[in-house]
Amino acid sequence: MSEIWIDRHRERLDAAVAASAARTYFSAFEASPSPGPSGAAARRTGTAAFRSWLDEEFPLATPGADGTVATERSPFGFDLRVRYPRVTDIETLLAPRRGARAWRDAGPDGRVGVCMQILDRLYDRGFEIASAVRHTSGQPFGVAFSSSVANTLDRSLEALAWSWQAQSRVAPTAVWTRPGDGGGGMEKTYTVIPRGTSLVIGSDVFPTWNAWPALFASLAAGNRVVVQPHPSAVLPLAITVQVCQEVLAEAGFDVGLVTLAVGDHADHLHEQLAVRPEVRIIDFTGSASFCNWLEERAGQAVLFTDSPGVNSVILDSTDDFGALCGHLARSLALCTGQMSTAPQNLLVPRDGIETDEGLKSPREVADGLAAAFDRLLSDDESAVEILGALASPAVLEFVESASKEGEVLIASRRVTHPMYADAEVHTPVLVGLQAVDADVYSGENLGAVCYLVETADTEESIALFYLMASRHGAVSASVYSTSPAVVDEVRDVALDVGVALSENLLDQVYVNTVSAFSDFYGAGASPASGATFLDAAFVAPRFRIAQSRRPV
Amino acid sequence: MSEIWIDRHRERLDAAVAASAARTYFSAFEASPSPGPSGAAARRTGTAAFRSWLDEEFPLATPGADGTVATERSPFGFDLRVRYPRVTDIETLLAPRRGARAWRDAGPDGRVGVCMQILDRLYDRGFEIASAVRHTSGQPFGVAFSSSVANTLDRSLEALAWSWQAQSRVAPTAVWTRPGDGGGGMEKTYTVIPRGTSLVIGSDVFPTWNAWPALFASLAAGNRVVVQPHPSAVLPLAITVQVCQEVLAEAGFDVGLVTLAVGDHADHLHEQLAVRPEVRIIDFTGSASFCNWLEERAGQAVLFTDSPGVNSVILDSTDDFGALCGHLARSLALCTGQMSTAPQNLLVPRDGIETDEGLKSPREVADGLAAAFDRLLSDDESAVEILGALASPAVLEFVESASKEGEVLIASRRVTHPMYADAEVHTPVLVGLQAVDADVYSGENLGAVCYLVETADTEESIALFYLMASRHGAVSASVYSTSPAVVDEVRDVALDVGVALSENLLDQVYVNTVSAFSDFYGAGASPASGATFLDAAFVAPRFRIAQSRRPV
């Protein structure tokens, strides 16, 4: 039975395995919603499917749940009022599953085949999920579809490719004969076995981004998975678990291998679950403080944690100042800078940067960005499709407090949403700081705030990049320089701190862009960061190989 | 320069990579000391080299050391009085190494080539190291050479093969072009970067067994390594570090990439080092309590910990009772049961087991073992070459206390060593217990003690195996049964608890035998166990891939 599933997906799997090593372009899930009437109809159907959940009880059974809880409010200004089973009995939630052996015995091929089938089903419901992400996390619909659905499915497929490759490396059986022993030697059997219960803790801002690859990496390795969404962003993961359970049931496996565990904000369910001895794997991406909490309390589990850190842009020189400003402005505006890859600190030498338009002082760089912002965001209707909405009231408070820390070079402006009067849509603020203000620009960034930091020179800019990334980690870094020596130096520092570096980007690829199968995403070698890289380290600790041996 | 090293070892590396996947027989280091005059001469030279260290200051420089310390006593009855640099300033010990970048830039090929050269040099000094292991840990010379040198070199090579394969999987560069973008796409560079400082904490009983594979897995991935031996077993690892530094220097790298950190027993240097923020990787094999200590305190590091756990032998039936007794007796006697793979609990149904010699009661099984012990160990001169000596006075105390917990079925006997009058050589004790005595037979076993546990029937034996292995872990498990159904059931339980199972072994392969490249060694899925399996999970978390990208 399991073989049916892998056979259906074999060709795509082989291509994905090859791509994960070659790192050239590969994608299995089209990121642009298809244009024309059929695309528009699919989008309408998906939006309607999302709307049908509002004010309803979500049809999922969770062991250990009693009653329901509704915790979500759209950043576009309304409560979702979807009711989910509320977990009250953790013992029952985590009780061993009878179906675990059958899932183990399905083997890498069977499990990966079923997981790939789930990916296809999630894509089928992509517009519905994108609407859910939009209304829990404030992403513009286009970003929600391309990034939180299509690209995240590609990254999930990449996780499956890495996992399948790692699980399949060891032969299932072998005959071992030692020279000189005489006799027949030993017959040996090798079986991939799961590590244990996997806990996936969801994020409010990007609910699927890390949760999906983690879920599939754990499930494909034979583990049962407890999905614990952030109370502010449950629906995308509730739909995910529903799809997982549907496909598991169709394939003849225990639906309880993937469960949804929801609590009220005050329940702190993630903390309760994280310290349980049954939980042997934890995935979490978000605040550095909770990453540290997990390191201190959840030693029983292998941790895949990641905190965005502090992203730097080193501005040294450019031969296209206009393109640079337009490019950076879009990076900052996308999702109002709430993406973990968004730049936080623009490091500009106080004497200015050499450009094709002459030397540009920090003030002139800010002016150039302001003009680019105007071009990009002055029309409210198109601005909302770039900015999205602020994921939580805390972001707006952060904008207000950050604005007081320095000179406001570009003020934040409230944007009126054409459809949602109460939507919290704002443009990002650009705040001018000096190199000495590290206590401000090294802090956790909730989004919508960017700092332009004046440095003594490019050497100091590079030193600050090193300092920020080595102390706090970073998900992205960027350098603009016409000097190969400067680029080389920044590249060496980026290797020291383990941060992905983008050099002189001016075109369609933004510093925020993470291409599945090619770019490695994660906060690198930072102290607050375990591993959310999709690589061997992300998949291998989730399983083990057990052997038996007997004389031939 | 680095290429010279890998080219020299390429053929062996390719064979090792293939063998680590195929799991058939492979070995690069001959385990039997060569017979004849040249072998004897080599052994004499090695023993003399060992003796030359006694009463001397070991010529190694360790940053942060002040003065020396001598901490070792041979279980054969004399103090080694080798003086090692004593670490007093941990800040200096862990200060960043200037040579780190060059080691990173050597790439997977360069690093693995240098590491393979180190393996060859260690083998060249194999007799010297075996003598050191013998006189720190009490292993018989033959075991020290075959197991702690040759087999551990094979396991180190296996770790290198896994690591090289994992590091080399991703292309070093790629050109990425997205269809429809127009233009030239992106050029990307991928570089393996180290995780950080790696701390290898040594064991007293098996100083090289886990330390070597850990050292090489970390070093090959670009990490600098601090080797922290158990104060009772420094010399084998001091020689190891000396060899590493020699080869690093010859290859033009910083010798400080591998350092020896020794403290007095009372310094608890391992605890001081384990909690340092610089330390990002820790390897330790030993007591469950220190594994737990690390899980609670050393959350900043990725842990590769393993505790031996409780090994079970399920006796159900056999068609060769004589061979079974002889085989088991040797398993128990080897290194006086101080190997982590040695059986701890023999589970025998109270109504006895069916054999070719008729039904054998638990008492008759004990008698059969006693007779086999007699044949194996009655001659003192040959007995010492099987038993070795007790690694520490604690083992003798353990024998005495365990003997009071039940009926002594086979008494421990002091063996007189023909050369060392003060050597602590003893035969193991076999203590009879009932299934209800779990508080006794589930405890940590220091060696030289085996329990014969009477169970209601084989079903209860299997249940006890499950209980012990799931609660405490196990490094080995063994079943003797002529019933395929019983063997199948035990095999399924072994998969549940993640323990390597040996079925009906009667020949040259013992339950203690771990064949590099074929057997997976480790305490499996037990709670107290992270991972010391030589597999992808052992190597992948020790490095990361950092990327840079630029428009073509």
CA distance, residue B186 to nearest chain A CA (Å): 9
Residue among B181, B188, B520 whose CB faces A23 most closely: B188
Question: Per the structure block, which two tokens stand in for B50?
Answer: 């060992």
Q: Please tell me which residue of chain A has the smallest CA distance to B475.
A: A546
Q: Please tell me which residue of chain A has the smallest CA distance to B294.
A: A299
pLDDT reading at B528 higher than 60: no
C-beta separation of B412 from B427 below 8 A: yes
Domains of chain B: 2-307+531-551 (3.40.605.10), 312-503 (3.40.309.10)
Residue A409 backbone phi and psi in degrees, to 5:
-85, -40
Give the single-character DSSP code of B144: I
How far from A110 is each of A222, A263, B491, CA to CA, in Å? 10, 33, 21
SS3 A143: helix
Mark yes or no for CB contact B519/A549 under 8 Å: yes
C-beta separation of B155 from B516 below 8 A: yes
A226: CB partners within 8 A, 6+ apart: A93, A94, A197, A198, A199, A200, A259, A261, A273, A279
Q: What is the mean pLDDT of residues A33-50?
A: 84
Mark yes or no for CB contact A24/B176 under 8 Å: yes
Give the single-character DSSP code of B354: B
C-beta separation of A228 from A47 below 8 A: no
- Report the residue of A518, A521, A552 to disrupt the B interface, i.e. the one with the largest count of B CBs within 10 Å: A518
- Counting runs of H as helices and runs of E as strands, what totals does chain A give? 20, 21
Nearest to A526 by CA among A547, A500, A552, A551: A500
Q: What is the mean pLDDT of residues A429-456?
A: 95
**How does DSSP assign A225-292, residue by residue?**
EEEE--TTS-HHHHHHHHHHHHHHHHTT--GGGEEE-B--GGG-HHHHHHT-TTEEEEEEES-HHHHH
Calculate the CA A110 to chain-centre distance. 26
Distance CA B430, CA B428 (A): 7
Q: Please tell me which residue of chain B has the smallest CA distance to A540.
A: B537
CA distance, residue B498 to nearest chain A CA (Å): 5
Give the single-character DSSP code of B422: T
Calculate the CA B125 to chain-centre distance. 19
How far from A507 is each of A311, A428, A511, CA to CA, in Å? 20, 22, 10
Mark yes or no for CB contact B533/A544 under 8 Å: yes
Q: What confidence score (pLDDT) does residue B504 get?
A: 97
Q: Please tell me which residue of chain A has the smallest CA distance to B300.
A: A295
Q: What confidence score (pLDDT) does residue A528 get?
A: 46
Q: Please tell me which residue of chain A has the smallest CA distance to B531.
A: A541
Mark yes or no for CB contact A191/B495 under 8 Å: yes
Among the residue ranges A24-38, B189-203, B205-219, B536-550, the one predicted with the least confidence is A24-38
Chain A residues with CB-CB distance to B21 below 8 A: 169-171
Q: What confidence score (pLDDT) does residue A524 get?
A: 59
Per the DSSP assignment, residues forming a β-bridge with A281 are A198, A302
Residue B449 C-beta-side C-alpha neighbours within 13 Å = 29
pLDDT reading at A529 higher than 70: no
Q: Please tell me which residue of chain A has the smallest CA distance to B499.
A: A546
Residue among B193, B527, B537 whose CB faces A277 most closely: B527
Across chain A, mean pLDDT equals 94
Burial state string for B411-428 with b = 16 or more CB within 10 A and e = fewer than 16: ebeebebeebeebbbbbb
B286: CB partners within 8 A, 6+ apart: B201, B203, B307
Q: What confidence score (pLDDT) does residue A308 get?
A: 81
Question: Per the structure block, which two tokens stand in for A538?
Answer: 């992300």
Chain B residues with CB-CB distance to A177 below 8 A: 24-25
Distance CA A452, CA A329 (A): 13
Residue among A295, A515, A544 whose CB faces B299 most closely: A295
Q: What confidence score (pLDDT) does residue A418 get?
A: 94
C-beta separation of B45 from B227 below 8 A: no
Q: Residue A32: which pLDDT band, with cuts at 50, 70 and 90?
A: confident
Residue among A188, A487, A495 whose CB faces B546 most closely: A495
Chain A residues with CB-CB distance to B520 below 8 A: 190, 544-547
Among the residue ranges A511-525, B44-58, B182-196, B206-220, the one predicted with the least confidence is A511-525
A46: CB partners within 8 A, 6+ apart: A125, A126, A127, A128, A129, A130, A131
Mark yes or no for CB contact A544/B536 under 8 Å: no
Mark yes or no for CB contact A527/B185 under 8 Å: no
Chain B residues with CB-CB distance to A494 below 8 A: 546, 548
Sheet (strand A345-349) strand order: A407-410, A429-434, A449-455, A345-349, A312-315, A477-480, A501-503, B543-551, B186-194, B173-176
pLDDT reading at B3 higher than 80: no
Q: Could you give the ipTM of this predicted complex?
A: 0.95
C-beta separation of B310 from B341 below 8 A: no
pLDDT in tens, B351-410: 999 999 999 999 999 999 999 999 999 999 999 999 999 999 999 999 999 999 999 999
Residue A35 backbone phi and psi in degrees, to 5:
-75, 180
CA distance, residue A544 to nearest chain B CA (Å): 8
Across chain B, mean pLDDT equals 94
CA distance, residue A505 to nearest chain B CA (Å): 7
Q: What is the mean pLDDT of residues A190-207?
A: 95
Among the residue ranges A215-224, B68-77, B348-357, B504-513, the one predicted with the least confidence is B504-513
Q: Please tell me which residue of chain B has the smallest CA distance to A195.
A: B525
Q: Residue A544: which pLDDT band, with cuts at 50, 70 and 90?
A: very high
Chain A residues with CB-CB distance to B22 below 8 A: 171, 174
Chain A residues with CB-CB distance to B166 below 8 A: 536
CA distance, residue B167 to nearest chain A CA (Å): 9
Mark yes or no for CB contact A547/B170 under 8 Å: no
Residue among B188, B302, B498 whose CB faces A193 most closely: B498
Residue among B503, B533, B540 whose CB faces A536 most closely: B540
pLDDT in tens, B275-316: 999 999 999 988 888 988 998 999 889 999 888 889 999 999
pLDDT reading at B181 higher than 90: no
Can you give A457-468 as a three-state secondary structure string? Answer: CHHHHHHHHHHH
Sheet (strand B302-306) strand order: B258-260, B225-228, B197-201, B279-285, B302-306
Question: Per the structure block, which two tokens stand in for B235?
Answer: 């010399």
pLDDT reading at B101 higher than 50: yes
Mark yes or no for CB contact A166/B536 under 8 Å: yes
Cβ pairs bridging A and B (under 8 Å): 225
Distance CA A546, CA A537 (A): 19
Question: Per the structure block, which two tokens stand in for A261?
Answer: 């565990």
Is the four-CA dihedral B38, B43, B48, B53 of positive or negative sign?
positive
pLDDT in tens, A306-337: 888 899 999 999 999 999 999 999 999 999 99
State the greatest distance between any 2 C-alpha atoms of chain B, in Å, as a whole number: 84
Distance CA B185, CA B130 (A): 57
Helix (H) or strand (E) holding A13: helix A2-22
Mark yes or no for CB contact B186/A509 under 8 Å: yes
Distance CA A489, CA A524 (A): 18
Distance CA A139, CA A236 (A): 13
Only one residue has tokens 């005595």, namely B437
Residue B191 backbone phi and psi in degrees, to 5:
-130, 130
Q: Please tell me which residue of chain B has the smallest CA distance to A550.
A: B503
pLDDT reading at B38 higher than 90: no
Q: Please tell me which residue of chain B has the smallest CA distance to A299.
A: B295
SS3 B407: strand
Helices marked H in B234-361: 235-250, 269-274, 288-297, 321-333
In terms of residues, how long is chain B? 552
Mark yes or no for CB contact B506/A541 under 8 Å: no
Distance CA A455, CA A347 (A): 7
CA distance, residue B419 to nearest chain A CA (Å): 32
Distance CA A478, CA A346 (A): 9
CA distance, residue A499 to nearest chain B CA (Å): 6
Q: Please tell me which residue of chain B has the smallest CA distance to A168.
A: B21
Q: pLDDT: is A148 or A40 the higher one?
A: A148
C-beta separation of B433 from B440 below 8 A: yes
Q: In one letter, which amino acid is A384?
A: V
- Report the residue of B164, B282, B545 to disrupt the A interface, i.e. the one with the largest count of A CBs within 10 Å: B545
Mark yes or no for CB contact A21/B171 under 8 Å: yes
Among the residue ranges B3-12, B18-27, B175-184, B465-474, the one predicted with the least confidence is B175-184
Chain A residues with CB-CB distance to B502 below 8 A: 548-550
Q: What confidence score (pLDDT) does residue A288 get?
A: 85
Q: Please tell me which residue of chain A has the smallest CA distance to B96.
A: A496
Chain A residues with CB-CB distance to B295 below 8 A: 299-300
C-beta separation of B314 from B357 below 8 A: no
Q: What confidence score (pLDDT) does residue B524 get?
A: 59
Give the single-character DSSP code of B304: E
Angle between helical axes of B235-250 and B211-220 (0-180°, round to 10): 20
> What separation, in Å, do the N-terminal and C-terminal C-alpha atoms of chain B show?
30
